[in-house]
């Protein structure tokens, strides 16, 4: 009996946590938030959540575009396919499981404009709500910044499946209530009120689509970030010289022509940060409702993103890349039993599913490859893993606290000292001084690769 009690203690410690609120932003790079060091970013609500929970400084996505990333963390697998999902598992333990907006992959803007499901997994949910919006067709000041096009006309705008849609911004006069994220927050608040009445444990997953392109928000959010005050990322001359061919992104400034318009690159930052601030306000609305309903006393809150984003670093744009700006994501976990902290452990998004199970006291599925983060939330001197793995179609990243190692399918490699060279300008893969480090990282690469093939 003594051993049974000892085994149960970690779960009983967290037994006051009953519900799960999972909020995920889309294409949000960690360094676009004030709490992650961007002092020009206006993100008071996410910053407040960070001050009340555990902020993970070194959280990494697995897939570096939407679909594989979301399939991965929703199943707790490096490559999620048909395994049990969060929602199915929690339903098996008496939970309602509700989706609002984008959780599994939806095309933005395509599925948002159409109000369709995208790659949703229906059995994950007891209820689901798609949140439509006009996206780039929102009346207002439209810009396609790589084409240097500015207009108020609704005709001829870059939209679904069009090649320049990722450089579109729209600012307009309004309060934002017509935007998908505002609607998603409103629906989430309605559901929280209903959950309060039902008194049944709930898993609520709210997917916010900003700052994913097109960067659409009311003018007052753009006004927070005058483009002339935006500083472009420093890129050294010949930055690509020591990068293998597989590491050079096809989505670069020259390819899209935005290299001709430095001011428009600054306007991309304005549009991105404007929509980050708009998204932050919706997070605040949801969290305020959670507190007003006193559901915060027994609800675990997760906040994260599917992957980060490049905004001209190395002259690269968007995602599908192994650079730090893409693979590192914000991650904040707040539990009723959590003491505020900042955690520097390397963690992965596949760890969220088992952490949620641990926090509410239900067993995790056998299919999960992630690890519960509860031990390092309780004691930041603990360690749950050596490294994180991220992947693209071209190759794989192994990220430790000190090193970023990229192994591409053509056999080429990159190695960066993330303590001395956090911006990844000096590739050390061919340095004789780093042979032992490379050997160890290659070992970790093989371990992760074998794990992905094990089940």
Domain range list for the chain: 2-454
Q: What is the pLDDT of residue 12?
A: 40
Q: What is the pLDDT of residue 353?
A: 98
Decide: residue 141, CB within 10 A, 0-12 exposed, 13-18 middle, 19+ buried. middle
Nearest Cα to Cα of residue 385 among 358, 348, 356, 417: 348
Q: Which of the pair, 220 or 3, is modelled with greater confidence?
A: 220
Please give the structure tokens belonging to residue 2.
């003594």
Distance CA 204, CA 269 (A): 31
Compute how many other C-beta atoms are within 10 angstroms of the C-beta atom of residue 257. 15
Cβ burial 261-278 (10 Å sphere, 16+ → b, else e): beebbbbbbbbbbbbbbb
| Residue 7 banded pLDDT, cuts 50, 70, 90 | very low
**φ/ψ of residue 49, rounded to 5:** -60, -40
Q: What is the pLDDT of residue 380?
A: 81
Q: What is the pLDDT of residue 3?
A: 34
- For the chain, the farthest-separated pair of C-alpha atoms sits apart, in whole angstroms, at 73
| Residue 6 banded pLDDT, cuts 50, 70, 90 | very low
| Residue 455 banded pLDDT, cuts 50, 70, 90 | low
Q: At 90, which helix (H) or strand (E)?
A: helix 86-91
pLDDT (tens digit per residue) in 60-72: 999 999 999 999 9
* Crossing angle of the two packed helices 44-52 and 262-292, in degrees rounded to 10: 50
Fold assignment, 2-454: Alkaline Phosphatase, subunit A (3.40.720)
Q: Which residue in the block uniquely carries the two structure tokens 């095309």?
A: 107
Give strand pairing partners of 129: 100
136 close to 159: Cβ distance less than 8 angstroms: yes
**DSSP of 359-398:** HHT-PPPTT--S--SHHHHH-TT--S-S-EEEE-SSEEEE
Q: Structure pTM?
A: 0.96
pLDDT (tens digit per residue) in 259-301: 999 999 999 999 999 999 999 999 999 999 999 999 999 999 9
Kindly report the CA angle at 67 between 65 and 71, in degrees rounded to 5?
Answer: 120
Q: Which residue in the block uniquely carries the two structure tokens 């001050």?
A: 51
Q: How far is CA 390 from CA 58, 65, 189, 214, 321, in A?
A: 13, 10, 34, 25, 9
Confidence check: pLDDT of 407 > 60: yes
Kindly report the CA angle at 276 between 157 and 56, in degrees rounded to 5?
Answer: 140
Distance CA 69, CA 49 (A): 24
DSSP, res 233: P
Distance CA 274, CA 179 (A): 13
Confidence check: pLDDT of 14 > 90: no
70 close to 108: Cβ distance less than 8 angstroms: no
Compute how many other C-beta atoms are within 10 angstroms of the C-beta atom of residue 410. 11
Confidence check: pLDDT of 239 > 90: yes
Q: How far is CA 41 from CA 30, 46, 118, 194, 432, in A?
A: 11, 11, 31, 34, 41
Q: Which residue in the block uniquely carries the two structure tokens 């050997």?
A: 439
Give strand pairing partners of 84: none
| Residue 454 banded pLDDT, cuts 50, 70, 90 | low
Distance CA 339, CA 119 (A): 37
**φ/ψ of residue 169, rounded to 5:** -130, 150
140 close to 170: Cβ distance less than 8 angstroms: yes
């Amino acid at each position: 009996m003594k051993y049974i009690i000892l085994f149960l203690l970690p779960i009983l410690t967290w037994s006051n946590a009953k519900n799960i609120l999972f909020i995920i932003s889309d294409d949000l790079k960690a360094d676009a938030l004030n709490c992650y060091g961007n002092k020009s970013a206006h993100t008071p609500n996410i910053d407040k959540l960070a001050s009340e929970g555990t902020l993970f400084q070194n959280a990494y996505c697995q897939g570096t575009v939407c679909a594989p990333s979301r399939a991965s963390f929703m199943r707790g697998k490096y490559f999620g396919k048909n395994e049990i999902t969060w929602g199915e598992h929690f339903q098996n333990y008496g939970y309602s499981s509700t989706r609002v907006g984008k959780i599994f992959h939806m095309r933005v803007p395509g599925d948002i404009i159409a109000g369709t499901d995208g790659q949703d997994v229906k059995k994950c949910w007891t209820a689901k709500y798609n949140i439509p919006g006009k996206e780039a067709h929102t009346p207002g000041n439209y810009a396609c910044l790589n084409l240097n096009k500015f207009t108020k006309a609704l005709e001829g705008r870059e939209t679904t499946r069009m090649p320049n849609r990722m450089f579109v911004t729209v600012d307009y006069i309004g309060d934002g209530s017509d935007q998908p994220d505002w609607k998603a927050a409103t629906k989430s608040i309605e559901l929280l009120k209903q959950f309060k009445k039902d008194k049944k444990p709930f898993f609520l997953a709210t997917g916010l689509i900003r700052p994913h392109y097109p960067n659409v928000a009311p003018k007052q959010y753009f006004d927070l970030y005058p483009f002339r005050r935006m500083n472009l990322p420093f890129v050294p001359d010949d930055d690509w010289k020591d990068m293998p061919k597989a590491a050079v992104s096809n989505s670069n400034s020259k390819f899209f022509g935005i290299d001709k318009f430095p001011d428009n690159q600054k306007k991309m930052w304005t549009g991105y940060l404007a929509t980050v601030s708009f998204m932050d306000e919706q997070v605040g609305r949801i969290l305020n409702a959670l507190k007003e309903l006193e559901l915060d006393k027994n609800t675990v809150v997760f906040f994260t993103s599917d992957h980060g984003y490049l905004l001209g670093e190395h002259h690269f744009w968007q995602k599908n890349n192994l650079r730090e700006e893409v693979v590192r994501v914000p991650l904040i976990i707040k539990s009723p039993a959590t003491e505020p902290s900042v955690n520097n452990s390397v963690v992965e998004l596949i760890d969220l599913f088992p952490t949620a199970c641990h926090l509410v006291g239900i067993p995790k599925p056998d299919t999960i490859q992630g690890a519960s983060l509860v031990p390092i939330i309780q004691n930041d001197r603990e360690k749950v893993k050596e490294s994180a793995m991220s992947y693209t179609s071209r190759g794989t990243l192994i990220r430790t606290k000190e090193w970023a190692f990229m192994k591409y399918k053509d056999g080429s490699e990159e190695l960066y000292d993330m303590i001395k060279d956090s911006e990844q300008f000096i590739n050390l893969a061919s340095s004789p001084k780093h042979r032992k480090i490379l050997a160890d990282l290659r070992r970790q690469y093989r371990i992760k690769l074998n794990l992905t093939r094990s089940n």
